[in-house]
Structure 1
C-alpha cells in the first residue's frame, strides 16, 4: 500500500472550505455539496485530508490505546478490531483530552483500502449531529486506522437484542428512530444524494444521552442525479436489510435506504432480529412474517415487543406500524422519502397518552442504562386495567387479512440469516461478515 501524509507534514486541509461554505442553497435542508473525493490513498495524501480531520501517526494511536491492549477492545467486525483510546497532551502536545474509538483495518480481512477510503471521503467532509464524527485517521505505510468520537452507549443492536428481561423503553426507541432517520435524510439531501447502503442496528451508535449517530460509511455510494433514475452497482450490504429490487437488479436509489430503515423500525417494534434461524421457519425472515400483520390493530398486540407494555398508545403504535409498512413496500415508489419519515416520527415523540386506551395496559416500564431521566416508572394495576383488558381481549375475532396492497407483488426472494451478533461498538459487520454481507457481482 502506498504511503500517506504523516503528522509532521503540514495539513493543507485547513485551506479547504468548511461544510457551511459548501452549502448549495442555505434555504434547502441538508443541501451539502462535497469536494471531489480522493480516488486512492496517494490522492488522499495530495489532498491532505478534509476540514478538521486529524492525521495521526501509528505511534500516536498506539499510545492512545495503551499499545492496543486487549482490555481496550470495544468490538470486532469485518473491518477489524476497534479499541477504546484517549488522545491528549501525552499523545500529541496541545491536543485537548478526547475519548476516541480507534478502528484498525485487518489487512487480511474482507474489507480494504476502498472501504477505508470511503469512510475518510464521506465522514471527513460531512458534519451532522446524527453522523458519528471522524476525529482523524492514519495511513502510514501499510497501516490503515480510523479514529472516531467515542460513543459510550455502544450500538442499538447491543441494547435492542440483549438477552435479559428488561428492555429499551418505547420512548427511547422512538427517539433513536428519529435520530437515525435524520441522519439518512441528511445524506439523501446532499447536492448529489449519498446512499448509505448498510443501514442496520449495529451501525447505529448511541451517545451518553442515547442520541443516534450513523457509523460505518465503507459501503456508502453517491446516488443518481438529474434525469438518472438509479445507479447500477454490485449488490452489497447485510442480508435481511437490503431492498428486494436492489438485490434482484443492482439498481440503487435513496429508496433502497428507506427499505433498510423500515427493517430496523420493525426490529425496534418487535424486539426481534431481521433474520433469525432459531425462530419457526415461517418467522425466520422478520419482514416476510411481520409486515402483513402491521396493518391489523388487533395483531399488533402480539407483534409489538411485550416488554414495552403500557408505554405507548393505540394511536401512536398504529402510526409507527403504518410507517414501517410503507417503508417496506415492495414498490420503491410506494415508500416515503426520509424527510417524510422524519416528519412522521417528529409528530409522535413523547405523545400525550392521557385518556387514550393503551394497547398493553398494566406492567412496569423499566429504568435502563445510564440515562434515568428518560424513563418513567409506571404502575397501572387498577380496576381500569381489568376493564380495559376485558374490552380488548373480549372483542370478536375477525378474519385475518394479508396486509399487502393489491398492487404489490408477493415477496418472492429468500435470504439467509446473518451470523450471531457481536456485543461491541463501532463495528461494521459481524465477525463472520462473509456470511452476513451480501456480495453479488454486478456493475460498480
Structure 2
C-alpha cells in the first residue's frame, strides 16, 4: 500500500500547487502545441452531403460515442482534404443557430494532439453539423469491451489514461474545462493508433440529450442534485473511465469503491490481464480511480495532478501505439516516407496536387518517346497544346477540363509522359473515379518502372479501395525509390 499512498500524496500536493508537468517524450505526439491542421471553417451542406454520398447508411461510423438521433458519418472531401467525421444533429438539437455557431467556433479554435480536433461546422436552415478529424481505428469501447483476438494491453490502458488526462488538462487550460459524458465511446484511435478525446463532447449541452449517461449509477452525485456540469464532474467521469481500463468492464463506481474499501483489489482487475500486471501497478491505478470518484467534488484531484501521477506509472513508453494496440503500422510500415508518400498515405489530395505541381515535368527526362518524323507535325503540336491546356486546368483545379485535355494528349500517341498520366490519375482520385486512377498509376509505372510517384499514387487508390495491405506494400516500394529521385 506504500505505492498507493505515494500516488495519493502526489495528487493531493499537485492539486494545491501550480506545477508544470512534462509528459514522457517517448509517447507519440506527446508534446503540446498546435498541430498543422487547417483553420476552422464553415462548410456548405451540399459539400458535406456529397462527401458522405448523400449521408448514406454505408457511411455511418459505428461506435463513435454518438447515439441516435444524432449520427456520425465518415466522409471524404472533394478538395483532397482526406477523410473526415461528420456529426449530424437532429433538427431540434440546436434551435438557436447563433449559439451553435459560437459554440462550434470556440471548440474549433482548440488544437491539440490529444484531441480529435474540430475542423468546421455547417449551419444551414435546420441543419446542424460538426466536422472533425476522422479516427480510423475505432473507439476504446471496441478495443476494451468487444475485442476479438487479444485483450487491450496494460501498457496501452495506461497510455490511454495519460493521453485523456492530458486532453482534459489542455482543455481546462484553454477555458473549456467542461466535457459532457466522458466515457469509453469518446476515446478514439487515430491512424497511428494514438488515443484521442472526441471534440464533440466539448460542445455545451443542447437539446440533443443529457450531459451524462442515462444510467444513474455512473452519473456524478452533484449532477443528480443540480443538473449542472462542473470541472469536478468531468474528473468523476474520468474516474469511471479508469475503472473501465482497470476491469475491462463497465462497473458501477459504488460497487468498485466497496471493493476498494474491502481491499478486494483482485475482484476489480480484468482477468485477461492476469500474469501481465503486478499487484502494485493495479493498485496504483485503482487508487487514482477511487480518488477521482470521491463524493465531495472538492476532494477530487485536478487534471494536472492526474497527468503527473499517470506519467509516473507508464509502461513501455518506447513502444509505438500501433504495436500496443495490436495493429499493423497503418501508414509507412518500416520505411520512412517522403512528403509525397506521406500525403498519399494520408489521402491528402491537396498536398499531392501541390507536390506534383511543384516537381512539374522534371521526371519525364530520359523517358523513351516514339517521335520519329512526326515530331514537328501538326498532330504533335496539337498534343502539346492539349497538354498545356491540361496543365493550366490542373493548376487551377479544373479537374474535368484537365482530364479531358490530358486524355487527348495521351490518346494522341506522339509522345509518352508519365507525368501527364500521373496527373490524370490524381484528377480521377479527386473525381472519386478510383478504378480509373489506379489504372493510370499502373500505366505510369509501365512507362517509368522505377518512378516512385506512380507507386505512391497506386497506394492512395488502394487505400481508398480498402486494400490496405497491398497499399502499405506499395508505399514501401515507392519509399525505397524516393531517395534516388529526391521526391
Match of 1:151 in 2: 135
Greater Rg, structure 1 or structure 2?
2
Offset of 1:111 from its aligned partner?
6.2
CA contact (8 A) 2:59 2:74 kept: yes
Pair 217,371 (structure 1): closer, same or farther in 2 beyond 3 Å: same
CA contact (8 A) 2:107 2:202 kept: no
CA contact (8 A) 2:74 2:85 kept: yes
Match of 1:103 in 2: 87
1:152-182: CA deviation from partner (whole Å, max 9, x where unpaired)? 1122122221164731111111111111111
The answer to whether residue 237 in structure 2 is matched with residue 241 in structure 1 is: no
Q: Which moved more, 1:334-343 or 1:207-216?
A: 207-216
The answer to whether residue 309 in structure 2 is matched with residue 309 in structure 1 is: no
| Aligned 1:262-411 pairs, distance under 5 A | 262-274=239-251, 286-294=252-260, 299-350=264-315, 369-371=326-328
The answer to whether residue 64 in structure 2 is matched with residue 81 in structure 1 is: no
CA contact (8 A) 2:114 2:195 kept: yes
Offset of 1:189 from its aligned partner?
2.0
CA contact (8 A) 2:118 2:199 kept: no
Q: Which moved more, 1:166-175 or 1:73-82?
A: 73-82
Pair 347,163 (structure 1): closer, same or farther in 2 beyond 3 Å: closer
Q: Deviation above 4 Å: which 4+ runs of structure 1?
A: 27-30, 110-119, 218-222, 366-369
| Aligned 1:23-34 pairs, distance under 5 A | none
Paired with 1:148 and 1:142, the residues of 2 have a C-alpha distance of 20
Match of 1:357 in 2: none
* Paired residue secondary structure (2:55): coil
The answer to whether residue 93 in structure 2 is matched with residue 128 in structure 1 is: no
Aligned residue-pair number? 284
Offset of 1:66 from its aligned partner?
2.1
Structure-1-length-normalised TM-score: 0.57
Paired with 2:232 and 2:123, the residues of 1 have a C-alpha distance of 34
1:306-361: CA deviation from partner (whole Å, max 9, x where unpaired)? 11122222222111111011111112122111111111110010179xxxxxxxxx
Q: Flag structure 2 segments of 5+ consecutive residues without an equivalent.
A: 1-18, 23-36, 318-322, 331-487
| Aligned 1:198-213 pairs, distance under 5 A | 198-213=181-196
Q: Flag structure 1 segments of 5+ consecutive residues without an equivalent.
A: 1-26, 31-49, 223-233, 275-285, 353-365, 374-444
Match of 1:381 in 2: none
Structure-2-length-normalised TM-score: 0.52
1:255 to 205, 211, 232: 232
1:20-70: CA deviation from partner (whole Å, max 9, x where unpaired)? xxxxxxx9789xxxxxxxxxxxxxxxxxxx981122212211221222222
> Of the two structures, which has the highest relative contact order with CA contacts closer than 8 Å and spacing of 6 or more?
1
Higher-strand-fraction structure? 1
* Paired residue secondary structure (1:74): coil
